[in-house]
């Protein structure tokens, strides 16, 4: 359960899949342990990896900046590159630690390169995040920061609340809709309006990948829209840009009174705009008519 003041929602590995489109089925990511009876033990595996980077001591960590430089110098995308890329992306972004070093727990998981795609990395990222948040809240480890992929929490929160009536695109992966600038802008806006943790929940149901009709890289399937007959005495109005719909107003309103006020404001803006548009059209036609009379 993730809670931010008045907003709370459940998260699962499916939400990690929503954000990154990481594999969410298959075998668990195999962790490297200490001392075992495999053909090559995990301790020997760690020694082997240290030697690849010119490290001899069993206590030497592999710094991520060194791994980055090795990646950038690779001329071919062979098995060595694939192993390094997965280890680097997991250690620095998807399941980061605080010491900015290669996570030795993942060494065993990349040994079988063709099988890497069959590992449930969504589950691994989710469990590492849960463990990190739990350690931070309980104070079981001496740290002032939360490890794990906090970006998952941020993006999931932003998509689960309706802030100022904004309807966020939700085709996957969700991270495609955000960059550092947009994330910062949204966070500052919520803080400035005291809406952080107090916004109205979104009408869209998450995680997207578990909704009926979900297809990879597409919105959940919906029924095709059919043209409805407009009853006598009513008119159909296409809302111009800047005029909010009923759903957007409900998402923005703080309470029922605020919602009524927003609807009244919309009516005023809507009819004022239609009035000015009609006057412009009327004046244009009158000017054309006068010009035609003068030219006769």
User: What pLDDT, in 10s, does the model give residues 196-237?
Assistant: 766 777 888 899 999 987 866 454 444 444 455 666 666 667
Could you tell me if 151 and 252 lie in one domain?
no
What is the C-alpha separation between 186 and 196, in angstroms, rounded? 10
Taking CA atoms, 293 is separated from 51, 90, 203, in Å, by 93, 77, 57
Whether 145 maps to a domain, the answer reads: yes
Whether 238 maps to a domain, the answer reads: no
Look up the pTM and report it.
0.69
Q: State the chain's mean pLDDT as an integer.
A: 82
Residues with Cβ within 8 Å of residue 256, at least 6 apart in sequence: none
Report how many domains make up the chain: 2
Whether 181 maps to a domain, the answer reads: no
Whether 81 maps to a domain, the answer reads: yes
Judge contact between 263 and 165, C-beta under 8 A.
Answer: no
Which residue range forms the structural domain that includes residue 280? 246-294
Could you tell me if 145 and 290 lie in one domain?
no
Instruction: Say whether the peptide bond before residue 207 is cis (omega within 30 degrees of 0).
Output: yes
Whether 219 maps to a domain, the answer reads: no
Whether 290 maps to a domain, the answer reads: yes
Whether 191 maps to a domain, the answer reads: no
Task: Give the residue-averaged pLDDT of 91-108.
Answer: 92
Whether 216 maps to a domain, the answer reads: no
- From 162, 177, 207, the end of a domain falls on 162
- From 112, 139, 162, the end of a domain falls on 162
- From 162, 195, 211, the end of a domain falls on 162
Residue predicted with more confidence, 122 or 196: 122
């Amino acid at each position: 359960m993730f809670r931010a003041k008045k907003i709370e929602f459940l998260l699962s590995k499916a939400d990690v899949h929503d954000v990154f489109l990481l594999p969410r089925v298959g075998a668990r990511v195999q962790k490297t342990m200490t001392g075992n009876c495999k053909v090559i033990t995990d301790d020997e595996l760690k020694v082997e990896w240290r030697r690849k980077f010119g490290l001899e001591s069993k206590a030497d960590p592999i710094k991520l900046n060194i791994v980055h430089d090795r990646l950038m110098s690779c001329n071919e995308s062979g098995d060595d590159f694939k192993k390094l890329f997965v280890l680097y992306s997991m250690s620095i972004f998807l399941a980061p630690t605080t010491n900015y070093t290669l996570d030795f727990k993942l060494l065993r998981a990349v040994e079988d390169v063709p099988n890497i795609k069959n590992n449930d990395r969504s589950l691994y990222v989710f469990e590492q995040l849960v463990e990190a948040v739990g350690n931070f809240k309980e104070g079981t480890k001496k740290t002032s920061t939360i490890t794990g992929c906090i970006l998952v929490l941020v993006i999931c929160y932003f998509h689960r609340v309706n802030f100022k009536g904004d309807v966020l695109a939700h085709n996957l992966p969700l991270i495609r809709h955000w960059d550092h600038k947009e994330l910062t802008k949204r966070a500052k806006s919520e803080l400035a309006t005291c809406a952080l943790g107090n916004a109205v929940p979104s009408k869209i149901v998450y995680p997207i990948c578990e909704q009926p009709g979900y297809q990879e890289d597409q919105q959940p399937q919906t029924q095709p829209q059919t043209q409805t007959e407009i009853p006598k005495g009513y008119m159909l109005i296409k809302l111009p840009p800047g005029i909010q719909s009923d759903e957007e107003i409900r998402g923005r309103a703080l309470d029922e009174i605020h919602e009524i006020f927003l609807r009244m404001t919309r009516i005023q803006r809507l009819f004022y705009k239609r009035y000015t548009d009609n006057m412009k059209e009327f004046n244009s036609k009158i000017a054309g008519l006068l010009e035609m009379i003068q030219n006769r």
